[in-house]
Amino acid sequence: MPHYRDAVWTHLTDLDVDWTFVCAEPNPEPTIKRWTPPPTVQTRTWRAWWIRGVLVHPGVVWEGLRPGTDVLILGGNAWRPATWCAAIAGRVTGKRVLMWTHAWTRTETGLKALFRRTFYKLANGLLCYGHAGKCWGIAQGLDPSRLHVVYNSLNYPLQRQERAKVTREELVALRTKVMGRADRPIAVCSSRLIPVRRLDLLIEAAAQLKQRGASSEVDLLIIGDGPERAALETLARQRGVHCVFYGACYEEAVLSRLIMMSNCMVAPGKVGLTSLHALAYGTPVVTHNNAENQMPEWEAIIPGVTGSTFTDENVGELATAIAQWCADAWPSESVRAECHRVVDRFWNPFVQREIVRRALVGEPADDLWFLRSDVLAAQVARGDAPFPDSTRPGSSAQCSGR
């Protein structure tokens, strides 16, 4: 159970459901910090092993057979045999089986498409991170009413608290301290510095903007560390780009202010939860438009409203996309409001909790549910009251994760 989903796991426990969270030990993905549930939440841990690249997790199969469970929520990785067995066991023993998954991330054909389609049809329903995954699933012949778009989220309640504390004077002072000046727009990137992130494209785009004239120049702020740092620092010097390498930062109070003092968040490679992080603090996101090489969270980008896209690896288009948000030294309040609005409406743990609730009780997927629910919108805007749950009393569910 990844730690970065702490908020949604915690909000799920507010439902009238007896949850049991099932984990593997040792952590099969040790680079991802595991969620520590509160003492009031029941958990079970089963031994797991990696054997020739395949995760062997027999305990999850027993969870599929375990009596007293009404709903089984599994990870949706089709390449894990234990998940196949657990799904079959759950269906045979009368449980409702859900899979929380990316589903499809690109068009598939042939045997691979058949394999994945067969796997997902084992479930009563899928909890898809994005609409693209759902659309590809429909194209593969799955019933749309079984494909719930559950979105994704970070700790949005905490982020709302942090942004409420920040003042314009504080951001001006921080810009001056970090960047050496406060009068030039900033394009920020928060990422591990590895080749796949293509941060070289960001530096080249900034160099192009510099060539277009002083009024088009932007400063770069790169948050993160990794093996590419030295090469990127050299490239920035060679191109004459003012680029501050801040290093790794994991403190939300610091990250929130670094993001808020910037005009846009740029992810030249694929973008995931970073987009939600930026939008939560009112900063639009720029990334490429190749849907088959993106993460679901890129769907939060509404071109011209909450960000921009460019043709993959096209430096000129990237420069123009950045310039759209850097015409003034500081981002406008109207842009900030639009960024907040898209997270308020979809990409937060309150919304995820309600969508999971609907899937738990067997309601059909409804992508227009938000447009019909003024109660939800009001609660999310306030950031306070939990949703009235309508799960049947006494029901139980198990969620199997890492």
Average pLDDT per block of 10 residues along the chain, 402 residues long: 78 87 80 76 86 87 92 93 95 96 88 94 96 93 95 93 94 96 95 93 96 88 95 96 94 95 95 95 96 93 96 95 94 94 92 92 85 56 42 45 46
End-to-end CA distance of the chain: 5
> Do residues 352 and 208 share a domain?
no
Last residue of a domain, one of 299, 315, 345: 345
**Which residues, at least 6 apart from 217, have a Cβ–Cβ distance to it below 8 Å?**
184, 206, 209, 210, 242
- Give the global pTM: 0.87
Axis-axis angle for helices 333-345, 273-280 (nearest 10): 130
Contact 278, 285 (CB under 8 A): yes
Same domain, 163 and 254: yes
- Asked if 192 and 295 sit in the same domain, the reply is yes
Which of 188, 218, 192, 195 has the alpha carbon at shortest distance from 205?
Answer: 218
Which token pair is 120? Answer: 């997902």
**Domain end: 327, 345, 363, which one?**
345
Pick left, alpha or beta for residue 362 (phi over 0 → left; psi -120 to 50 → alpha; otherwise beta): left
Last residue of a domain, one of 300, 316, 345: 345
* Domain housing 7: 3-153+348-400
Q: How far is CA 56 from CA 50, 92, 226, 277, 361, in A?
A: 6, 21, 31, 34, 30
CA–CA separation, 208 vs 373, rounded Å? 46
Query: Residue 402: its pLDDT value, please?
Result: 43
Q: What is the CATH number of the domain that holds 362?
A: 3.40.50
Name the domain count of the chain. Answer: 2
- What tokens does 208 get? 């192009």
Q: Are residues 169 and 263 in the same domain?
A: yes
Which CATH number goes with the domain that contains 201? 3.40.50.2000
Judgement on whether residues 385 and 250 belong to the same structural domain of the protein? no
